[in-house]
Amino acid sequence: MGVRCVKFANFVHCPHLEGVAFVWYAEGLEPAGPYRHFGEAFITTSGTTSDGVDPGGFLAHAAGITGNSERDEPFLRLCFDIPSPHSEVPARLLVTGDRREEWTLAPDGLVPEYQPILRHIERTGRHFNEFTVRKSDGTPGFGIRSMLSSGSWLGAGRWLELPYLHLGTYIGPRSGPVRFSASDIAAGNGFCLFVPWGELNVRIGTDKGASVRQVTGTWSETWQLRHSRAEWRPDPRTADLIAPG
């Protein structure tokens, strides 16, 4: 059994624009052991279907999170079929590609029969650009931010002695400007907050190079690259769908 926590971006808020459709965090328990992964899906205008992708589908990729007692999950190339109009949160998503799944919307966002795996995440593994986090005001705590290709991220750590896990992404045109937002994934013993669209700014630290991200707005943080992703490249049709700046 597993759960998929989804943060919708352009699919709901800017359905006419290319870019990030949604991002998600996945976890569950299978016979081979516990697993976790983070993924992102895209709205594209490409009509290329030589690989069998339905022109109405959404190209996506995801990668397994490793290093916190999970099993080693590979990089995944996926496609989503969503039998719902754009601009609405869908009740069902169909996944094909390296995993074949059906996701069903849970009422109130709760799956009472599901027992979550431990949320302690200190690393995410070789498939990610992984950053460590420092609060600009010196507040003690630990955090990481892990990215695939778009500039969206999975965040995890501890703040004010409480664990947190969140998804961050953005809406808007591929050429910018875009509006960032983040949503906590609540587990009953941590944070359950939402940063509205446009109240975060994430920019490359120009004076320190591409290895640093400066975050301002509701949060004030510096993200320092710990290691770069290895072993995969995004699909050419989504490779340039990245956050500007």
If 0-12 CB within 10 Å is exposed, 13-18 middle and 19+ buried, where does residue 167 land?
A: buried
Say what the pLDDT of residue 46 is. 55
Please state the φ and ψ torsions of residue 108, each to the nearest 5 degrees: 65, 10
Q: Where are the alpha helices (DSSP H) in 6-121?
A: 10-13
Which residues 6+ apart lie within 8 Å of 90 measured at CB? 82, 83, 84, 105
What is the pLDDT tens value at each position of the chain, 245 positions in all? 899 999 999 999 999 999 999 999 999 999 999 999 999 999 997 544 444 445 458 999 999 999 888 998 889 999 999 988 888 899 999 999 999 999 999 988 888 888 888 778 999 999 999 999 998 877 777 899 999 999 999 999 988 788 899 999 999 998 889 999 999 998 665 667 899 999 999 998 766 677 999 999 999 999 999 999 987 899 999 999 999 86
Q: Which residues pair with 73 in a beta bridge?
A: none
Gyration radius (Cα) of the chain, Å: 17
Can you tell me whether residue 108 is helix, strand or coil? helix
pLDDT for 74 equals 87
26-36 tens-digit pLDDT: 999 999 999 99
Kindly report the pTM of this predicted structure.
0.92
Question: What b-and-e string marks burial along 118-154, b requiring 16 or more CB atoms within 10 Å of the CB?
Answer: ebebebbbbbbbbbbbeeeeeeeeebbbbbbbbbbbb
The closest alpha carbon to 205, from 221, 182, 219, 217, belongs to: 221
| The pair of three-digit structure tokens given for residue 22, joined into one six-digit string | 């949604």
User: Over the stretch 74-119, which tens digit does the pLDDT of each residue have?
Assistant: 899 999 999 888 888 999 999 999 999 999 999 888 888 888 887 7
Distances (CA, A) of 210 to 183, 207, 220: 25, 9, 18
Q: What is the pLDDT of residue 221?
A: 94
Q: Look up residue 161 and give its two tokens.
A: 């002695």
Helices (H) and strands (E) in the chain, counts: 1, 15
Q: Read off the tokens for 225.
A: 């690259």
- The separation between the first and the last C-alpha atoms of the chain, rounded to the nearest angstrom, is 39
User: Do 53 and 63 form a contact (C-beta atoms < 8 A)?
Assistant: no
Length of the chain: 245
Domain residue ranges of the chain, discontinuous segments joined by +: 2-227
